[in-house]
Structure 1
Amino acid sequence: MVYDGFGPADLRQACAELSLWDHGALASRQLGGTRLSLGTGSSYGLQVPWMDSTPEEKQLWQTLLERPCEWVDGLLPLRTNLAPRT
């Protein structure tokens, strides 16, 4: 995705995936992550597997959308597996 022109209205169709990694000298491994979205299962009218936020992730994303330009504190558990939930 190119972020040029990515506006507030697009955030309802988007998903922000954040992951935490352990980077070592010889190897790296993913420790976990989270997906912030509305969890609708679709983006711009297309079914997508990555729009699968948990209820906690959805609530935080909704709060962020409702409070633009404001600091929002949140605490989310890391998913150990970011494969799409079914």
Structure 2
Amino acid sequence: MVYVNFAMASIKNVLFKDTILRNSNFQENAIKNLVFKEADLTQTQFFKTKLSNIDLSDSTIDGIAISTEDIKGAIINEFQAIDLIGLLEVKIAKR
């Protein structure tokens, strides 16, 4: 699935396993028991959809568009943390 629009959907008890969701849109979603397992979320947009306690660590999130408020509390891996550091609007010193 590519370019899927989940805007304003109530998403409950859903497992996206080995699913391609590139360039998809999650907007103002009410989520409960949402699981991403090795999902491709490349360039997917999350807007007013809180991902607290959602495990993204084995999914691809390259180019994800999300606010700090929505990503807060999500579970990510160390490589994803590097990609998401830009959300903090900090500068990294070169040594």
TM-score range (shorter-chain normalised) is under 0.3
Pair member with larger Rg: 1
TM-score, normalised on structure 1?
0.22
TM-score, normalised on structure 2?
0.20
RCO higher in structure (CA 8 A, sep ≥6): 1
